Amino acid sequence: MPLTCRGRVRGQEPSRGDVDDALGKFSLTLIDSLDTLVVLNKTKEFEDAVRKVLRDVNLDNDVVVSVFETNIRVLGGLLGGHSLAIMLKEKGEYMQWYNDELLQMAKQLGYKLLPAFNTTSGLPYPRINLKFGIRKPEARTGTETDTCTACAGTLILEFAALSRFTGATIFEEYARKALDFLWEKRQRSSNLVGVTINIHTGDWVRKDSGVGAGIDSYYEYLLKAYVLLGDDSFLERFNTHYDAIMRYISQPPLLLDVHIHKPMLNARTWMDALLAFFPGLQVLKGDIRPAIETHEMLYQVIKKHNFLPEAFTTDFRVHWAQHPLRPEFAESTYFLYKATGDPYYLEVGKTLIENLNKYARVPCGFAAMKDVRTGSHEDRMDSFFLAEMFKYLYLLFADKEDIIFDIEDYIFTTEAHLLPLWLSTTNQSISKKNTTSEYTELDDSNFDWTCPNTQILFPNDPLYAQSIREPLKNVVDKSCPRGIIRVREESFRSGAKPPLRARDFMATNPEHLEILKKMGVSLIHLKDGRVQLVQHAIQAASSIDAEDGLRFMQEMIELSSQQQKEQQLPPRAVQIVSHPFFGRVVLTAGPAQFGLDLSKHKETRGFVASSKPYNGCSELTNPEAVMGKIALIQRGQCMFAEKARNIQNAGAIGGIVIDDNEGSSSDTAPLFQMAGDGKDTDDIKIPMLFLFSKEGSIILDAIREYEEVEVLLSDKAKDRDPEMENEEQPSSENDSQNQSGEQISSSSQEVDLVDQESSEENSLNSHPESLSLANMDNAASISPSEQTSNPTENHETTNLNGECTDLDNQLQEQSETEEDSNPNVSWGKKVQPIDSILADWNEDIEAFEMMEKDEL
């Protein structure tokens, strides 16, 4: 935990849910970073680290861990460490004492994971208790029915390496069986796989399919298993899937999820950050062009936000704002540089390193970005940062002689652990089953993009990559908000104009109601005054109308979730700028619905002082201490607005409310928004922010240690620059800001606090089967009535290279100001099931809902 400078021990910190499943009290970061030390030529440190692992690590802990994470990080880390330990030993200088101890640990761990495979399908349970295995009452796991495709399909490299290193064939056999099962279950007409699968029945639970979260390394391991094990069946499977990916998912430069049964239908309008590994895999396959294109698009998104947000929309807006310092983009940059030799990729790497140093480096390491928009941090540095990010960035700039062994003799696992290629000819006793006959002859055009040897195709020609990037150079900046692309393309292909766009819909317009009826969409008036939209495809006038209705409903969902987001104020940042922090520590803060709006004004900078009484609920007894400063107040006992008025009257230039619930943290709790007191709050002119207890205590601890602590309250952390380290900033800026005191309008609220997450509970996503508008007025507010132009086909087109059409521009403006608008639309509850055609669609949407909640 790089902000609090401690290790994260499972059970000793508040649970973060699934993310913690990677932690098994087995010194994860130490093991995951073993082979990085050798790559970075820190051989002595590697030797020490191996000794520490052998001395301290216990694998027999009563902890439930993820089988996938334990495999790729711990088993992979031990095997990577072993691979390089024996390489060093052979060289004769280091590790002379080493006697396969890491391999023995790996084997012990391998046996601990095997009970997870005790299913009829051979797909492993997603979790296992390291001490008690599975299904026994003490194990506290084994009731799960589903796992992700990547979770079951990312074992073969580590398990086969373990078998081949030790001669114990059982590991490779189990991993192969799981892969065979997944292959059997692929959707036969599209040749795609879903995101999650039932480990007992083999039914797809989530039928959306992409190359990012939940599936990514399944594809990676098919191709790499072929490279490591030389088994053609893996290559044939990979090529079959790759053909499907390029046919349906790849829309260069985008990679968009589709439905496995309806692969021409996009399943989402956003992409996740994990797919950034895919260009690297395409390099391994030899398909350089789309790799260059997707990588270029991702780089432009990064340039916009400094980091790749966890998810971003097809028009490149932030969808999920966090960034846990994922390495996938650096990985692809490394492989593209190797493939093309284009120095452009060194420039890309330099930008990555500069951004890490500028925005993520903190006194005890590198902190994950909680929100790329504000630059705020999370007290988290995942082990993959050292295992992968450091390794790939170092290798990008390393010359051959900088590395003490030949990296070409190894293959990278998904966690960038190194396994020697000589394993392919060792202990080959595991037979190649199911190899022939199953693979359909692929159309040759599948390989049109493939260049098996880049040196032959463009020897020393860096301009090759540049010529591919050139047409895309403004793809992100000049992008226009998109609709649902595939749907749009299809409707224009047939020359059809959608009869009604969701954004134009007015519930009071009889013509619109007529069109809805034709499309099989009915309006249900609920007792509480709300209206629900439900589509029954069989009630549509024709199958074309039914499809139009489906599109209309899908657009409505998009619109609704966009509007849901617009109601929320974005998070703010508290940045500690005084010595010794100098802006390096940025805390995520909740906004207030009253007081100075930091998104419209310059940041407020000042020293902090605790108010007396600390709860700020009455006139302050220490006005001299808070005068001209940012007052710290504890949450509770009175309204937030009352606290704000009391500190403002005492002369404070801003306020930070610290949560009184001990242990609360923005890592584990949803963003918190302070509401007014139901009265007019225009009199409150100072900015107010909210910190959970953990973040608050970082400031309180700093005061105890350094007395004078200066902070910056803003909507986005200020770049850390030498200014912060040298300058003693006077607080005049704040004074003038305070005096200018522009009026901030605030809607009246009856509650003290708005918890943004729980306010989302009635959102459409929770009840995707039917749509309910809050009331007729709000229904009308969906439709921008001031819209002047009539939508035409052109309005929907997006020109990747050029300008947006009029409507596009209009939409762009809307999206840019989205945080200011408050259309106040809410969606209601499910009323009735829908027919079988729609049910299929709804299942997919339910799956998205799950995905939104638990993915990544």
Active site residue 90: no
The burial of 807, by beta-carbon neighbours within 10 Å (0-12 exposed, 13-18 middle, 19 or more buried), is given as buried
Choose the catalytic residue: 216, 287, 296, 695: 216
- Of the pair 181, 385, the CB lying nearest ligand DMJ is at 385
Is the C-alpha dihedral spanning 776, 782, 787, 790 positive or negative? negative
DSSP SS3 for 406: coil
Dist CA 88 CA 96 (whole Å)? 8
What phi and psi values does residue 353 have, to the nearest 5 degrees? -65, -45
- Which pair of tokens denotes residue 642? 């009352």
Q: Which stretches of 601-726 are DSSP H helices?
A: 623-626, 640-649, 693-706, 722-726
Judge if the upstream peptide bond of residue 580 is cis by omega within 30 degrees of 0: yes
- Binding residues for ligand DMJ restricted to 265-294, rule: CB under 6 A: 274
The residue (of 57 and 389) whose beta carbon lies closer to ligand DMJ is 389
Which residue type occupies 133? G
**Shortest CB 333 distance to ligand DMJ, Å:** 15
The yes or no reply on residue 414 touching ligand DMJ (CB under 6 A) is yes
Span interacting with ligand DMJ, options 40-48, 320-328, 656-664, 681-689, rule CB under 6 A = 320-328
Q: Judge whether 757 counts as a catalytic residue.
A: no
The CB-of-242 to ligand DMJ minimum distance in angstroms stands at 18
Catalytic residue among 310, 331, 710, 796: 310
Determine phi and psi for 331, rounding to 5 degrees: -60, -50
Measured CA to CA, the distance from residue 461 to residue 453 in angstroms comes to 13
Minimal distance in Å, beta carbon 111 to ligand DMJ? 23
Per-residue binder mask for ligand DMJ (CB under 6 A), 12-51, x = binder: ----------------------------------------
User: Closest CB to ligand DMJ among 217 and 731?
Assistant: 217
In the complex with ligand DMJ, the residue whose CB is nearer, 277 or 344, is 277
Q: Is 566 helix (H, G, I), strand (E, B) or coil?
A: helix
End-to-end CA distance of the chain: 19
User: Of 128-136, 324-332, 365-373, 836-844, which part binds ligand DMJ (CB under 6 A)?
Assistant: 324-332
Question: What is the CA angle 95-97-102, rounded to 5?
Answer: 75
State yes or no: residue 667 binds ligand DMJ (CB under 6 A).
Answer: no
Nearest to 308 by CA among 335, 281, 340, 332: 332
- Contacting ligand DMJ within 181-240 (CB under 6 A): 217
Give the relative orientation of helices 543-566 and 485-493 as an angle to the nearest 10 degrees. Answer: 150
* Residue 193 or 502 with smaller CB distance to ligand DMJ: 193
Minimum CB–partner distance for residue 150 and ligand DMJ (Å): 7
Q: Is position 391 an interface residue for ligand DMJ (rule: CB under 6 A)?
A: no
List binders of ligand DMJ among 49-88 (CB under 6 A): 72
Separation between Cα atoms, residue 728 and residue 259, nearest integer Å: 57
Binding segment (CB under 6 A) for ligand DMJ, from list 258-266, 322-330, 577-585, 716-724: 322-330
Closest approach of ligand DMJ to the CB of residue 317, in Å: 22
Would you say 241 or 326 has its CB closer to ligand DMJ?
326
- At a CB cut-off of 8 Å and minimum separation 6, what does 566 contact? 818, 819, 821, 822, 823
Residues 6 or more apart in contact with residue 371 via CB below 8 angstroms: 321, 322, 570, 571, 573, 588
| 708, 678 Cβ separation under 8 angstroms | no
Would you say 327 or 341 has its CB closer to ligand DMJ? 327
- List strand residue ranges (DSSP E) for 692-740, in order: 710-714
Mark 390-418 as b/e (b = at least 16 C-beta within 10 Å): bbbbbbbeeeeeeeebeeeebbbbbbbbb
Q: How far apart are alpha carbons 767 and 760 in whole angstroms?
A: 11
- CB 70 to ligand DMJ: min, Å: 11
d(CA 621, CA 640): 18
Position 332 contacts ligand DMJ (CB under 6 A): no
Q: Which stretch binds ligand DMJ (CB under 6 A): 167-175, 196-204, 321-329, 843-851?
A: 321-329
Q: What are the φ/ψ torsions at residue 568 (nearest 5 degrees)? A: -95, 140
How far is Cα 118 from Cα 112, in angstroms, rounded to an integer?
12
Q: Using CB under 6 A as the criterion, what x/- string covers residues 569-588 for binding ligand DMJ? A: --------------------
Nearer to ligand DMJ, 385 or 690 (CB): 385
**Dihedral angle sign, alpha carbons of residues 767, 773, 775, 778:** positive
- Name the active-site residue from 220, 328, 548, 555: 328
Question: Active-site residue among 21, 69, 172, 548?
Answer: 69
Q: Strand runs (DSSP E) across 177-243, as ranges? A: 196-198, 204-206, 208-209
> Rule CB under 6 A: is residue 380 a binding residue for ligand DMJ?
no
Among 181, 316, 359, 384, binds ligand DMJ (CB under 6 A): 384
CB-based contact 707:592 (threshold 8 Å): no
- Three-state DSSP class for residue 704: helix
Q: Is 415 in the site for ligand DMJ (CB under 6 A)?
A: yes
Q: Quick one: 220 or 371, whose CB is closer to ligand DMJ?
A: 220
328 part of the active site? yes
Compute the least distance from the CB of residue 414 to ligand DMJ, in Å.
4
Minimum gap (Å) between residue 59 Cβ and ligand DMJ: 19
* Residue 209 φ/ψ, nearest 5 degrees: -145, 125
Task: Give me the least distance between CB of 157 and ligand DMJ, in Å please.
Answer: 11
Q: Which two tokens stand for residue 565?
A: 């987001």
Contacts of 404 (CB under 8 A, 6+ apart): 38, 41, 43, 91
The CB-of-260 to ligand DMJ minimum distance in angstroms stands at 21
- Whether 310 sits among the annotated catalytic residues: the reply is yes
CB of 328 to ligand DMJ, least distance (A): 6
CB of 384 to ligand DMJ, least distance (A): 4
* 414 vs 763, beta carbon nearer ligand DMJ: 414
Q: Measured from the CB atom, is 272 or 545 closer to ligand DMJ?
A: 272
Q: How far is the CB of 244 from ligand DMJ (least distance, A)?
A: 21
Q: If binding means CB under 6 A, how many residues of this protein chain bind ligand DMJ?
A: 9
Coil, strand or helix at 360: helix
Give which of 115, 106, 222, 120 is closest to 166, Cα–Cα: 106
Residues 779-838 that bind ligand DMJ (CB under 6 A): none
Nearer to ligand DMJ (CB atom), residue 412 or residue 458:
412
Which range in 74-82, 285-293, 326-334, 433-441 contacts ligand DMJ by CB under 6 A? 326-334
Per DSSP (E only), the strands in 709-802 are 710-714, 753-755, 771-773
Closest to ligand DMJ by CB, 150 or 644: 150
Nearest to 827 by CA among 570, 631, 574, 556: 556
* Identity of the residue numbered 125: Y
Stretch in the footprint of ligand DMJ (CB under 6 A) among 292-300, 325-333, 507-515, 733-741 = 325-333
Q: Which stretch binds ligand DMJ (CB under 6 A): 134-142, 323-331, 745-753, 809-817?
A: 323-331
The kind and range of the H/E element at 465 are helix 463-469
**326 is an interface residue for ligand DMJ by CB under 6 A:** yes
The residues pairing with 711 across neighbouring beta strands, listed in sequence order, are 576, 606
Chain contacts with ligand DMJ (rule: CB under 6 A): 72, 217, 274, 326-328, 384, 414-415
Q: Which residues are catalytic?
A: 69, 216, 310, 328
